[in-house]
Amino acid sequence: FLADRTERTNAAGQQTPAAAVYDAYCRWCEENHERSVMGKITFNDTLEERGFVRGQDRTKSNVWKGLVLTERRSEARTLEDLD
Q: Give residue-wise pLDDT tens across range 22-57.
A: 999 999 999 999 989 999 999 999 999 999 999 999
List the Cα angle 46/1/27 in 5-degree steps: 105
Give 47's contacts (C-beta < 8 A, 6+ positions apart).
Answer: 21, 54, 64, 67
| 31 membership: H or E segment, kind and range | helix 18-31
Question: What letter represents residue 14's amino acid?
Answer: Q
- Tell whether the model's pLDDT for residue 78 goes beyond 70: no
* CA atoms lying within 13 Å on the CB side of residue 3: 1
